[in-house]
Amino acid sequence: MMTDIIRIEDVTWTYPHADEPSLRGLDLSIGEGEVVVLCGASGSGKSTALRLLNGLVPQFHDEGVLTGAVTVAGLVTTAVELDALGAVTGTVLQHPRRQFFTDSARDEVAFAMENLGFEREHTRSRVDATLAELSLYVPLGQSLQRLSGGQQQQIAIASAAAHEPRILLLDEPSSNLSVDAIARLTATLIALKAAGMTIVVAEHRLRYLQDVLDRVVVMRGGEIDVVWTADEFREIPDETLAAEGLRGVVRPTTLPEIAAAGASAASPAASVPPAALVLDGVRCTLGGRRVIDLDRAAFASGEVTAIRGTNGAGKSTLARIITGLQRSVGSVRLDGVTLSPRARQRSSAVVMQDVQRQLFTETVSAEIALAGTDSPVTDSDAVLASLDLDHLADRHPLSMSGGQQQRLVVAAVRVARRRIVVFDEPSSGVDRRHLQSIAEQIRRVAADGAVVLLISHDEDLVALAADRQLSLVNPSSATVPAAAHESVKEST
């Protein structure tokens, strides 16, 4: 009989200053070596349940109210220090940049082992083996902050598993990953399970896990709604998943390519006609590596262009260039006028991958009012209602779930009414029902006349929201001379 390594017994948890509990009478036992997937609508309590297991709830939120008991690997989580729980668990947050303690992949992978007092030779051996595999897909010499969200995610997963914890906790691990990276993640989880590791995953995308999971636990309102075994889950049709607000089979979408030329364009065009937003000779080098190399690209207003490519292809870098947030060479023209970086910033709005960095006020309604400073908001209530946020108007944005925060920033961008709007992985942490509402808001921004760029690995969202695509590849020249790097660095 399988021995329980995790026991959650009648747990109710209320965050500080929250009106309602995030978890209500939660009971869950997980056996050693088991892979359990927690799923459910945004705000159902999945991420909070993970925080119970690594001790962040209640130790990091010490003004909250916890009843019940949580035991992890024989440790009562309220009776031990966080470092004791960190020795038996490894955690990957939905936005991994929040958990990095260093600025290099080698130091990050070694960090937990060094702090736990592992022997130096063992640490070196584990780090070398981990980096050897990562180096095939991630430029390890770059600062962690310069890597794409998907590359950061891969390093965070490797770092969390490097000290070989008994339990691995993953919060939306596929949210920023390309298709090939998700396949590697699946293979990694299968190998860790075979080695005896217990894995708990909070996810919206489920089908990629069906060959590794043992149970699917569906949560609703902080409680367990239904539990499926692996065999039961594999037999469940997409229609049933949809009824629960869950994601089903991912069906790749192919869209017509926009006209673009240059080493970064996967499908270079012979000629590029005029359009509302035109890039000429745009190139960017980071850490001695050419990241973007476009001779010309043109984006139409009133359309949604999906920016696609593998992790590290330069998608977010291109968005930062267009919005004036990243130094580069070349020109960016809007309606025939060449814009300086500062002018691009004034003309642009962005939904970032990590939306917490875009929340500044104390209530949801104040966040919307701030977004409409340059354009008086007349339909804020309707926008909030369309994204299922109207009942949270008086909530502090940082007290909401990741999916709710994501939808709030989408609403703010909608009312800002800028000419250039970038959505960078806007469906991260979003369930199936709210995916549709986000797609509708993206479409409305385009209908208002904006040039809309959608950076996403979410095939479901691309199918719902995008008209065309620009497929990016890594430029053929992986490095450039130091002098060229400096010229790009100093250019504005």
- Ordered DSSP codes for 284-334: EEETTEEEEEEEEEEE-TTSEEEEE-STTSSHHHHHHHHTT-S--EEEEEE
Mean pLDDT on 368-395: 84
Q: pLDDT grade, residue 160 (50/70/90)?
A: very high
Average pLDDT of the chain to the nearest whole number: 90
Q: Are residues 119 and 265 in the same domain?
A: no
Tell me: do 361 and 468 sit in the same domain.
yes
CA 395 to chain centroid: 23
Are residue 158 and residue 278 in the same domain, yes or no? no
Q: Which of 280, 283, 303, 266 is nearest to 471 (CA)?
A: 266
CB 141 within 8 A of CB 147: no
Is the same domain home to 178 and 313? no
Which of 212, 243, 274 finishes a domain?
A: 243
Q: Are residues 194 and 272 in the same domain?
A: no
331/464 same-domain check:
yes
219 and 307 together in one domain: no
| Residue 209 placed within a domain | yes
Question: Does one domain contain both 183 and 155?
Answer: yes
Does 424 have pLDDT greater than 60? yes
- Domain residues for the domain of 372 are 260-490
Cα–Cα distance between 44 and 26 in angstroms, integer? 12
> Rounded to two decimals, what is the model's pTM?
0.83
Residue where one domain finishes, among candidates 217, 243, 269:
243
- With H, G, I as helix, E, B as strand and everything else as coil, classify residue 243: helix
pLDDT category, 222, cuts 50, 70, 90?
very high
**Per-residue model confidence (pLDDT) at position 376:** 60
For the record, the structure tokens of 293 come out as: 């190399």
Q: What tens digit of pLDDT does each residue of 281-298 get?
A: 999 998 888 999 999 999
Residue 464's alpha-carbon distances to 252, 254, 425, 445, 467, in angstroms, are: 12, 12, 14, 14, 9
Whole-number pLDDT of residue 491: 35
Domain presence at residue 249: no
Q: List pLDDT tens digits, range 78-135.
A: 999 999 999 999 999 888 888 999 999 999 999 999 999 999 999 999 999 999 999 9
CATH of the domain at 403: 3.40.50.300
| Residue closest to 292 by CA, chosen among 257, 335, 341, 327 | 327
pLDDT beyond 80 at 320: yes
Tally of domains in the chain:
2
Q: What is the pLDDT of residue 489?
A: 37
